Amino acid sequence: MLIRTNVVIITYNALEYTRATIESLYEHTDSDFCLTVVDNHSRQDTIDYLDSLRPAAHCRKVTIIKNADNMGVGYAYNQGQQVSFDLGVEFTAFCNNDLYFSHSWLKKLEEGMDRERNVAMLCPLRPSAKVMYDASISTRDKLFQMPEAESWQEELRVYTGLSLGQFSEFANRVSGANGGNRIEKIAFPDSLSTCVCLTRNSVFRQIGYFADPKLEQSYGGEDIDMCWLVMKLGYDC
């Protein structure tokens, strides 16, 4: 199958969350993809886990980049983006290392990019004041109401009200409550969060790379800077 996306995950310790992120990525992604992990000088336990990663199922290639120092998110994103350029793939999916993926998450984002050819950055729903948990409460307010959990598994169980094996069922329910596969475009000065974000590499080749916050041309955070540059070029987020 055609590999369209390089999934870039930035890691810095947090082995339990990193493992959950990558294991759910492998289990719930049904499009072929490459995986690039950029590590910002984690402890040895995380390095040992990353060294154990191998291609499997839909993950066709694994690239591990180990930085000798914590270079920050923007620098690490640039390293992952360069791998995407070298691979010649159509999209890059930038991801944090504290995620739990639902079934077909990547396929749905790729299909959204195919429907809306002017979209250069596309994110799934995430907890916010605008995204409803159900008819009575937002996903953000539901998150704030949660008691402290002892593990990420318990955190998900309490938040969703379902078992871990039913997480995709929960994701589909929330998606349906918020317009399903509808794409909502933002306008300046709004921006997207790159905690999970699919980007179109043909547009990013025009931009270059995520801005270094130390440089004057940066507007602030990496995700804000990139969204504003994308919209300045006439593309949609």
Three-state secondary structure of 9-41: EEECCCHHHHHHHHHHHHHHCCCCEEEEEEECC
Query: What was the pLDDT predicted at 1?
Result: 61
Is the per-residue pLDDT at 40 higher than 50?
yes
pLDDT value at residue 97: 96
Instruction: Please tell me the distance from the alpha carbon of residue 152 to that of residue 98, in angstroms, as a whole number.
Output: 9
Residues contacting residue 76 through CB under 8 Å, at least 6 positions apart: 10, 38, 40, 65, 67
Over residues 178-205, the pLDDT tens digits come to 988 889 999 998 999 889 999 999 999 9
pLDDT of residue 206: 86
CA distance 35 to 8: 6
For residue 23, give the amino acid letter: E
pLDDT in tens, 50-85: 999 999 989 999 999 999 999 988 889 999 999 999
Mean pLDDT of 10-26: 97
pLDDT reading at 169 higher than 90: yes
Q: pLDDT tens across 100-138, in order?
A: 999 999 999 999 999 999 999 999 998 999 999 999 999
Range 131-156 average pLDDT: 94
Angle separating helix axes 15-28 and 152-160, nearest 10 degrees: 60
Cα(93)–Cα(35) distance, rounded to whole angstroms?
9
Per-residue model confidence (pLDDT) at position 152: 94
Give the pTM: 0.93
- The pLDDT value recorded for residue 218 is 55
The whole-number pLDDT of residue 216 equals 47
Contacts of 62 (CB under 8 A, 6+ apart): 34, 35, 36, 37, 53, 54, 55
Mean pLDDT of the chain: 92
The helix/strand count (H/E) of the chain reads as 9, 6
